[in-house]
Amino acid sequence: MIQITALPAFSDNYIWLLQDPARQRCAAVDPGDSAPVLAWLAAHPDWLLTDILVTHHHQDHTGGVLELKARTGARVLGPALEAIPGRDVALEDGQRINVLGLEWQVLHVPGHTAGHVALFTEGVGQPVLLCGDTLFAAGCGRLFEGTAAQMHASLQRLASLPGPTRVYCTHEYTLANLRFALAVEPDNQALQQRQREAAALRERNLPTLPSTLSLELATNPFLRANEPAVRKSCAEHAGSAPTTAETAFAALRAWKDNFR
């Protein structure tokens, strides 16, 4: 059984620290800054950082990798299709890796970046998904290097995972994403409830994460492009009705890019 702790970084990033309490070993996910991880290790001197997991090449996910590797000797694992500093293991789609005694599946999920990967494991009692900037709570990543078609396919791949899967994305964007989701589906009662719960958490300065895949399927417009209410809103906003889930997703992403 592993524990997962959110280490805040920058203005809205989370570095996820995976912990094996029995062996006092841990792994850092997307450490854009080394300081939060080093501070945690200093407060837990008997623990060893064994692995650094990277989902994509953006600086706010990789900026702390080299210092952490130099200070701890941790192994760096990152996507094969991107330049990851200090990488020891290149992650390919479908590959299985062992981290903290658990088997993780590598999923290539292009869209936000060309080589973005997610990591999934079923071996912790409740499945866990480390999805970087592909799937967000009530949202998805911007299309910096990929296409809408690629991102839609990537999200559908993640949506096929088990409903109880805990979703660990790497930004605290939830309230902003929920504002957009409510503009798309104002009558969605699950979405209204989620907004109330998320607002209460942020008022206490607590993370709104992790989410679950079942919650995303009920409230995330980017996973709900086939829903009649979502398509209706897309048609009203764009002036023409989307003909497929993929075109509805593209319309949603373009709408969100300019949503204020």
- Active site residues per annotation: 56, 58, 60-61, 112, 133, 171
Spatial separation of the C-alpha atoms in residues 175 and 178, rounded to whole Å:
5
By DSSP bridging, strand 166-169 and strand 128-132 are parallel
Spatial separation of the C-alpha atoms in residues 118 and 158, rounded to whole Å:
9
Spatial separation of the C-alpha atoms in residues 61 and 7, rounded to whole Å:
13
The answer to whether the CB of 221 falls within 8 A of the CB of 181 is yes
Spatial separation of the C-alpha atoms in residues 53 and 23, rounded to whole Å:
19
The encoded tokens of residue 116 equal 């973005």
Q: CA of 203: how far to CAs of 85, 165, 197, 208, in Å?
A: 36, 26, 10, 11
The answer to whether the CB of 170 falls within 8 A of the CB of 56 is no
Spatial separation of the C-alpha atoms in residues 185 and 188, rounded to whole Å:
6
- Write the single-letter amino acid at 80: A
